[in-house]
Structure 1
Amino acid sequence: MYYVYILQCSDKTFYTGYTDNIEKRIKVHNQGKGAKYTRARLPVTLAYYEEAETKSQALSREYSIKRMTRREKETLISHK
């Protein structure tokens, strides 16, 4: 099982990624060892996630979420 997730950073921006272990990945982000983008915006909190059966599906969904506008991401988050 894979997960696509959106984190809300301390500066209220969003970061989107994928993983096979969501709890571990958020911990890594908050330790400053995650993506370069989140390192300067700690702490991060999980705003949204969805499951994907394959890595390919997760990557495809991550790509589509990253192309969304902020408003579209906010709508996605609020409908969870």
Structure 2
Amino acid sequence: MWHLYLIRTKLGHLYTGITQDVQRRYKEHQEGGVKAAKSLKGKKPLILVFHQEIGSHSLALKTEAAIKKWPKEKKESLVRKEIPLAI
């Protein structure tokens, strides 16, 4: 099962990603090792602010791509649970 997640950086930026194991992936990002996203390095502290089960890898990829195009305020509305993640 695939999940979509959003992480907030120390500057307030939102990083969007997908994984099969949210806690493992979040830990990888926090540790900053070779498996961490390059765009998150040096931007700690990182806070996991949203995650939701998506389903298939294909659907997760499509959802991730769509959310990455959203303006920041729409992503913030998703984090605040003001809007649903329509899949």
Task: Please give the range of the TM-score, normalised by the shorter of the 2 chains.
Answer: over 0.9
**Matched pairs, number:** 80
RMSD: 1.0
- Residue 43 of structure 1 deviates from its aligned partner by 2.1
Q: Tell me the residue number matched to 2:85.
A: none
Per the normalisation by structure 2, the TM-score is 0.87
Deviations 1:11-31 (A, max 9, x none): 111100000000000000000
Over alpha carbons, which structure has the higher Rg? Answer: 2
Select the structure that is richer in helix: 1
Give the aligned residue type for 2:66: S
What is the identity percentage for the equivalent residue pairs of Structure 1 and Structure 2? 30
2:15 paired with 1:12 = no
1:4 and 1:19 in contact (8 A); partners too: yes
Partners in 2 of 1:76 and 1:53 — Cα distance? 18
Contact 1:47–1:77 (CA under 8 A) maintained in structure 2: yes
Distance 2:53 2:61 in 1: 11
Aligned partners of 2:67, 2:50: CA distance in 1, in Å? 11
Which residue of structure 2 lines up, in the alignment, with residue 45 of structure 1? 47
Aligned to 1:25: 25
Q: Which runs of 5+ in 2 are unaligned?
A: 83-87
Unmatched segments (≥5 aa) in structure 1:
none
Deviation >6 Å, runs of 4+: none
